[in-house]
Structure 1
Amino acid sequence: MEASRPGAEPPWRHTWPKPPPGGYTADDLDRLPGLPPHTELIDGSLVFRSPQTVFHTRTLRLLEHSLLRAAPEDMEVLREMTIVLDDRQRPEPDVMVARADADTGLDQTAYRSHDVLLAVEVVSEDSRARDRETKPLKYAKAGIPHFWRVESDNGRPVVYVYERDPATGAYVATGIHHNRLKLSVPFTIDIDLTGTARP
């Protein structure tokens, strides 16, 4: 493989999407060709995801399967689908719970924030600031009532649970769960968080 000359432009430079004045819109994610999987839109800018860790994959699988078993029929558990919060915000939580009647068909690529009950973010090295600060503020502002942030504690998931205060429009921490996640909202949930560990 030929090395790039110092100061030379990388080969992808001329094919990389050039943002329009004012940034991209939520609808642009469905129209831009060749975007990497799981591209998000934050403040009109495209955000690309790095390869995920084994911790992220196992935790995501545990939460998704547990929520699928617990969710009532009028709710749907979705993995890695985007949410349109407004014209310049279209993040992709790792897992979300939405109203089942918000399903518009097999070609649907996003849900509207008013149809989402829970957004879950499993924190990665490259997403720490977004998952701890940026996304919770935007999810709360858009009216999503429940948010979970999941972090690794020596390879074990710890779930930080938040509920939106309708009076302030901000999330309030309601618990930190280490070995077991037992909640009554948005529906009855009881998850053994030690299930990601190998025997």
Structure 2
Amino acid sequence: MNPSPLPIHQRIMRRLAAALEPALSPEWQLEVDIDVLLEEEPLDYVAPDIVVFSATVPLTTRPIPAGTVLLAVEVVSKGSRREDRGSKPLAYAEAGVPHYWRLESQASGALAPVMHTYVLDVVTGSYTETGAHQGRLRSAVIGPVDIDLAALTR
């Protein structure tokens, strides 16, 4: 059993979700800290900090099928570094989640906030880094995104 995240982790996650949600195109929806079903047999699921998934999935669905997920985001803390950098992206890639983002901040030991963005290489079945964004995150994966990363930690 892992302890609950620190308040700074929750604040960063909440602010990041609030910054991402207005950028979503109509075919996507976003939720925080919800279960994503990676595999039915044997049963395997995880709870990313932020999940962008198909708007066709009813909000009464639990867990969210990985096949409907566009993006999984992890906000790294000192206690979650090993999983967020290692086992979770491997699991998301195996489940076919097209995009994975990992936010490192002072709470995880980084000097300043850095968003690492990845895209799934369908040939290799693993993620390829598309950027290590410092200062601002600009992306079009979910719709037009331009986020001041430092503002997430204030």
TM-score when scaled to structure 2?
0.89
> What runs of 5+ residues in structure 2 fail to find an aligned partner?
none
Computed over aligned residues only, the root mean square deviation of the Cα atoms, in angstroms, reads: 1.6
One-letter identity of the residue aligned with 2:45: R
Change (3 A) 1:49 1:73: farther
* 4+ runs deviating over 3 angstroms: 153-156
Q: Give the equivalent residue in structure 1 for 2:28.
A: 75
* Cα distance in 1 between the residues matched to 2:130 and 2:7: 28
| Aligned position for 1:185 | 141
Counterpart secondary structure, 1:125: coil
Q: Which residue of 2 aligns with 1:3?
A: none
Residue 146 of structure 1 contacts residue 186 of structure 1 at CA under 8 Å; is this kept in 2?
A: no
Structure 1 residues 122 and 145, CA gap change in structure 2 (3 angstroms): same
**CA separation in 1, counterparts of 2:30 and 2:55?**
9
How many angstroms apart in 1 are the aligned matches of 2:26 and 2:147? 19
Q: Which residue of 2 aligns with 1:96?
A: 51
Q: Using the alignment, how far apart are the partners of 1:94 and 1:115 within structure 2?
A: 16
Offset at 1:156?
4.0
- Identical aligned pairs, as a percentage? 37
| 1:28-67 → structure 2 map (5 Å cutoff) | 48-67=1-20
Larger CA Rg, structure 1 vs 2: 1
Structure 1's unaligned 5+ residue stretches are 1-47
Tell me the matched-pair count: 149
